[in-house]
Amino acid sequence: MSHKSSLSCEARLITVGRKKVPQMKFATGTWVIILFGTERQEDSTFWSIDIMDSNSNTVVVTGFGPFRQYLVNSSWEAVKELSKRGLGENIDLQIMQLPVVYQKAKEQVCKIWTTLQPLLTVHVGLASSTAALIILEQCGKNKGYQERDAGGFHPEGACCVLGGPEKIESTINMKTLWKNISVEGIDIILSRDAGRYICDYTYYTSLYYGNGRAAFIHVPPLSESVTAEFLGKALQTIILAMLEQCGEQREMDHRRKK
């Protein structure tokens, strides 16, 4: 028997006067008008929340809780180490642990974008391969989520957003990032497939609600050579480079508006 979870954070467009405005539904079951959104020409059922404050200095970084044999998840341990280091005096760093459960992870991601309204959200996940690699994920995929989560469920329709685009690219150019950074003691590679599990699902959800201003980094499991402190330092290096890109994008946006 197939188990499916009902997504408790949903979005839709309604007509108010002559304008279409978004509503969002949370676990309470109530639809609430949150913010004005932007319709996409290629898919009238898809909209993104245009909530990006150009002056925002908040960066949210998430890791995941325990799952399967990983009672200590390296992603969350790395994020905690990052929080000790920070991202500089001008950045308000907020960290959050996400559960390895589709529905609950989606709720948390929705709340990040509607309440904190960050400049950037970076999700960190555990890559359960034997190779010690850091993987930069360029995009999130909407469909193919057949694998059950920690609660034994998978999303309705095996997809993130019903009617959403097949994939969404991050505004962060991971290839440029990869060319310009290095972390001593570990290789960094690029990827366009985050795995069709909670990591990929979370990433797509964040890209969708955050209008592309999200990134995903896979880190290896902890070991004698790959410690939480080591990964925390690596995250700091990578995310600071991402913020440089964000600064360049802001400057370009300001020039266009003038």
Question: What are the CA-CA distances from residue 35 to residues 22, 24, 114, 137, 181 (Å)?
Answer: 7, 9, 8, 28, 37
Q: Using CA atoms, how far apart are residues 64 and 79, in angstroms rounded to an integer?
A: 9
Apex 119 CA angle, 113 and 120, nearest 5 = 75
Indicate if 139 belongs to the active site. Answer: no
Q: Helices marked H in 57-213 — which ranges?
A: 74-85, 102-111, 174-180, 198-209
Indicate if 229 belongs to the active site. Answer: no
Question: What residues are paired with 70 via a beta bridge?
Answer: 67
Where do we find the tokens 């920690």?
150
Q: Is 247 exposed, middle or buried (0-12, 13-18, 19+ CB in 10 A)?
A: exposed
Q: Give the DSSP letter of residue 210.
A: T
The catalytically annotated residue of 9, 81, 137, 159 is 137
Question: What residues are paired with 6 via a beta bridge?
Answer: none
Indicate if 154 belongs to the active site. Answer: no
Q: Which residues are catalytically annotated?
A: 137, 199, 218
